[in-house]
Amino acid sequence: METKAFSELFPLFNNANQDTLEWLLTVAIKHDYPSNRAVLMEDSWGNAVYFVVSGWVKVRRLAGDNAVTLAILGPGDFFGEMAILDESPRSTDVVALSNVQLISISAQRFIQTLFKDSQLHHRMLQLMVQRLRQSNLRFQMRHQPPAVKLAKMLVTFAENYGQKTEDGVEILDIPHTDLAQVSDITVDETRKILEKLVAKGWVKLNAENKTLYLVNFKQLVHLAGRIQ
């Protein structure tokens, strides 16, 4: 991957200097995982930061025999940074939701780069604060109607990872259980709301390709903004 494509794909590196990008690409390791394969395991020690080149993953926390999906990440995002920044075991695991291509940078080299490139260090802090704000927003929306919560999550995925097509903004057809958990609604509510959105023509499902098209994006944005 060329440095320009690398910086354009990953917002973290938008303002990194050229030398930083070139060096990171020389030490980065490529990984390919099939759908449903565990990428990182909970309680393992952080030894690298991972960047999603293509595909989707879910971040989950295990609770006994159950697993709760906390976040869903797509192309251009990254994970694993918390375990190396506070030098502690990982508190979550990561599983591929689709065929996924990642690149990893070792903890030691990533930390060295943060110290050397102040722009990258600052950008890292900005994105971590952004994630915290998103978590706070989800908490603030806990009393909102299920349709508003789900619409907000779909819009967020589209804005962060969606691809514009003739059929609308394309995102992964995320399994209902995972989509319900990150939206803080029930699986049954998720299924019924999606059926209504399909009936209205706001979204379209392509089961064969496991993709969801947000056809009427403006209406979904409007619905997501109905915070009472």
CATH of the domain at 41: 2.60.120.10
d(CA 205, CA 56) in angstroms, rounded, equals: 17
226, 149 in Cβ contact below 8 A? no
Of 139, 167, 188, which marks where a domain is finished? Answer: 139
Query: 169 and 126 share a domain?
Result: no
Burial class from Cβ neighbours inside 10 Å (0-12, 13-18, 19+) for residue 86 reads exposed
Query: 155 and 130 share a domain?
Result: no
Q: What per-residue confidence (pLDDT) applies to 158?
A: 96
212, 170 in Cβ contact below 8 A? yes
- Residue ranges in the chain whose pLDDT is less than 70: 42-46, 86-91, 226-228
DSSP 114: H
Query: 29 and 98 share a domain?
Result: yes
Query: 59 and 74 share a domain?
Result: yes
168-172 and 203-206 strand pairing: unpaired
pLDDT tens-digit series, residues 147-165? 999 999 999 999 999 999 9
Q: What per-residue confidence (pLDDT) applies to 33?
A: 95
The tokens for 28 are 């980065």
| pTM assigned to the model | 0.88
Query: 100 and 202 share a domain?
Result: no
92, 58 in Cβ contact below 8 A? no
